[in-house]
């Protein structure tokens, strides 16, 4: 019984000691909270932030859009005469020049028709010669009274009928020559053939049977849809007539094709706020095909005094885009900006000064008027004239 009393006393002493220690810690915490703000350490409230200078340099501004190529001329090759396909002169998919022979339809029937028309003309020429000499004899006999006037008129009529017959024969010969010429189907312009649709020996008629297709590839159209906000710049480039359009094939950043803007539509789509524009592009290597997706980049002018800041410095709010700069007494100052073209990691903005130090990090931990400690900033890059891109990039 005495042992249990000793254990109880020991526990009571331990509990009292723990309560005393806990009370001391609470008193220290309350004292620290009651300490005046001026006496509290300030170093912990100053946020270290990375900064970057505003870079001023001339840039070439480009507008860039997704686009699609279109053939300037795209036709189906059809026969103008009926007959059997005798020969396909060039293979499927071949590049041909204007006037090249592509197909031959069996010409024998049309050659025979031409020969018949020529023979008919020879017969009518002989008949005219006889009518002419008969009229000459009749003229002398009529003067001497040996030939009746009515008979002389008949001979005159026969000569005129012979002249008309020869004229008909000449028209028939021209028609036969055309039909014979139509048995050879030639390329009306330079382009590329498609897949053959008429096998050798197939009977072709003039009711719309298709032999093949031919598309013009050089030059070629590139159609794109700029926004109405870019209309003024596009119109200016169009009016200048400069070779300001460059074409990029997906997966290849090298410019291989250039051209000029040749068409701007006469209205803006009210639903999308865009319009249709077109550039005519040289395609001498025939690398671009109709219907191909490409990117078009248009040189829209120069900005000699562009102010560039890192894209990581941009913030966004209900009021728009903004950046933080280091203000007086190292206080963060918020500036609303209007963004422009980009150049790698930099973006052109309006709303900052050339001498500003832009805060590029810890943006979520600061606000307007927050004390900051700028970290060492790299020196401004004295860049040369740069190329930047804006517009609808896909």
Architecture of domain 47-59+304-387: Beta Barrel (2.40)
Which residues in the chain are classed under CATH 2.40.30.170?
64-72+216-301
Cβ-contact 50, 361 below 8 angstroms? yes
**Backbone phi, then psi, for 382, in 5-degree steps?**
-80, 75
51-69 tens-digit pLDDT:
999 988 887 788 889 999 9
Q: How far apart are CA 98 and CA 327, in angstroms?
A: 70
CATH superfamily of 64-72+216-301: Efflux pump adaptor protein, beta barrel domain (2.40.30.170)
* Average pLDDT score over the chain: 82
Can you name the residues that pair with 62 across neighbouring β-strands?
299, 389
Tell me: domain 107-182, CATH 1.10.10, correct? no
Render pLDDT for 222-270 as a digit per residue (tens, 0 to 9).
999 999 989 999 999 999 888 889 999 988 777 779 999 999 999 999 9
Per-residue exposure over 260-279, b if at least 16 CB sit within 10 Å of its own CB, e if not: bbbebeeeeeeeeebbebbb
Contact 301, 285 (CB under 8 A): no
pLDDT of residue 42: 47
Q: How far is CA 135 from CA 139, 142, 156, 157, 167, in A?
A: 6, 10, 6, 9, 20
Residues sharing a CB contact under 8 Å with residue 266, sequence separation 6 or more, in sequence order: none
CATH topology (fold) of 74-106+185-215 = OB fold (Dihydrolipoamide Acetyltransferase, E2P) (2.40.50)
DSSP string, 100-117: -EEEEE--HHHHHHHHHH
Question: Residue 153 has what pLDDT?
Answer: 64
> In the beta sheet, which residues pair with residue 69?
222
Per-residue model confidence as pLDDT tens digits over 282-326: 999 898 999 999 999 998 887 778 888 999 999 988 888 999 999
Asked whether the beta carbons of 211 and 78 are under 8 A apart, the reply is: yes
pTM: 0.65
H-helix or E-strand spanning residue 84: strand 83-88
pLDDT at residue 106, rounded to an integer: 95
Residues of the chain with CATH 2.40.50.100: 74-106+185-215
**Arithmetic mean of pLDDT, 10-36:** 48
């Amino acid at each position: 019984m005495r042992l249990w009393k000793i254990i109880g006393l020991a526990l009571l002493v331990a509990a009292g000691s723990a309560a005393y220690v806990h009370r001391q810690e609470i008193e220290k915490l309350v004292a620290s909270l009651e300490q005046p703000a001026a006496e509290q350490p300030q170093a912990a409230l100053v946020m270290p932030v990375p900064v970057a200078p505003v870079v001023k340099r001339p840039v070439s501004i480009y507008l860039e859009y997704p686009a699609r190529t279109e053939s300037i001329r795209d036709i189906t090759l059809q026969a103008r005469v009926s007959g059997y396909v005798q020969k396909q002169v060039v293979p499927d998919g071949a590049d041909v020049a204007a006037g090249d022979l592509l197909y031959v339809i069996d010409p024998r029937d049309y050659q025979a028709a031409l020969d018949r028309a020529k023979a008919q003309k020879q017969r009518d020429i002989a008949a005219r010669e006889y009518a002419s000499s008969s009229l000459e004899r009749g003229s002398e006999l009529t003067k001497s009274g040996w030939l009746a006037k009515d008979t002389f008129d008949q001979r005159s009529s026969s000569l005129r009928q012979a002249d008309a017959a020869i004229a008909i024969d000449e028209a028939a010969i021209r028609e036969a020559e055309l039909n014979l010429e139509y048995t050879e189907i030639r390329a009306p312009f330079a382009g590329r053939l498609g897949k053959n649709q008429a096998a050798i020996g197939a009977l072709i008629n003039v009711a719309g049977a298709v032999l093949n297709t031919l598309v013009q590839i050089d030059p070629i159209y590139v159609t794109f849809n700029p926004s109405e906000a870019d209309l003024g710049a596009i119109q200016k480039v169009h009016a200048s007539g400069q070779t300001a359009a460059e074409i990029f094939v997906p997966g290849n950043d090298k410019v291989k094709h250039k051209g000029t803007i040749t068409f701007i539509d006469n209205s803006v789509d009210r639903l999308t706020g865009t319009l249709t524009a077109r550039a005519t592009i040289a395609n001498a290597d025939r690398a671009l095909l109709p219907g191909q997706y490409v990117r078009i980049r248009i040189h829209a002018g120069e900005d000699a005094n562009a102010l560039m800041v890192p894209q990581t410095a941009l913030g966004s709010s209900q009021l728009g885009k903004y950046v933080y700069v280091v203000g007086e007494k190292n206080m963060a100052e918020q500036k609303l900006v209007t963004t422009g073209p980009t150049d790698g990691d930099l973006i052109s903005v309006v709303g900052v000064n050339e001498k500003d130090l832009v805060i590029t990090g810890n943006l979520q931990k600061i606000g307007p008027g927050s004390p900051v400690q700028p970290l060492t900033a790299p020196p401004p890059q004295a860049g040369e004239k740069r190329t930047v891109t804006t517009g609808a990039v896909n």
